[in-house]
Structures are given as structure tokens and as C-alpha cells.
Amino acid sequence: MSNLNQHLIDPTLTAPLAEEYVKSNYAEINRKRPAAKPDSRTYSMELEVLQEYLKLISSEMDKRGIKSKGIKVTMGKYPEKSTDPKLKPEYLGYQMIFFLPSILAPETIKI
């Protein structure tokens, strides 16, 4: 496999890391939002869908001869209004994340 163990976070660190986000970034994000509608803080998706997407990215990168494959997690925000049927109305106006393929520079891989 890869150097997975070098990237795993000790489970005891997850709570302090999440608390730091809530105290800083999340507090700022919600400063101007209605108290009853705080922005999203966690995101979930079906594991099978994520695995299929990662396979698709890997396959497409293989076709292009890309060896240093990565994935970029990007922050975004749903628009306030949309007629796009893929966007659930209850998510409009909230932040979100999405994944993009990323070509890693050799020095990035050594993390």
C-alpha cells in the first residue's frame, strides 16, 4: 500500500481539532448568519459513491499517464437560489465541499 500510517490522525486529536475549528473559522462563518441556521460543519456521503468516484479519478489519470495522483478537497457554497435538480433545496445557502483530481508534485507525496 502507501504510507497511510503517516497520514492517520490519532483519534484523541480529532475532538481538539474540531473544537479549534468551531472557535475560529466556524464562529466567523456564522457571525452574520441567523442563529437558527448555522452553516454546515460536517459532511457525509455514501462510502460506495466515494470509492467509485476515486476509482474513476484514478482510471482517468492512468489513461493520461499521471503517476502522482491526488485528490483535492475544495470548499464551496451552494447558491441562495437554484433550479439545478441535483442541488437539494435544503442545502441552498450553506457551505459544502467537493473533490477534484489533483496531480501531486513529487515533494508533496513525501508528507
**Tens-place pLDDT, residues 19-41:** 999 999 999 999 999 999 999 99
∠ Cα 23 96 32 (to 5°): 50
What's the confidence (pLDDT) of residue 104? Answer: 87
Q: What is the pLDDT of residues 46-88, one digit of tens each?
A: 999 999 999 999 999 999 999 899 999 999 999 999 999 999 9
Answer for the pair 79, 108: CB distance below 8 angstroms, yes or no.
Answer: no
Could you tell me the three cell numbers for 51? 470509492
How far from 51 is each of 57, 58, 70, 90, CA to CA, in Å?
10, 10, 14, 25
Distance CA 29, CA 15 (A): 20
- pLDDT for residue 12 is more than 50: yes
pLDDT grade for 106, boundaries at 50, 70 and 90: low
Average pLDDT, the chain: 90
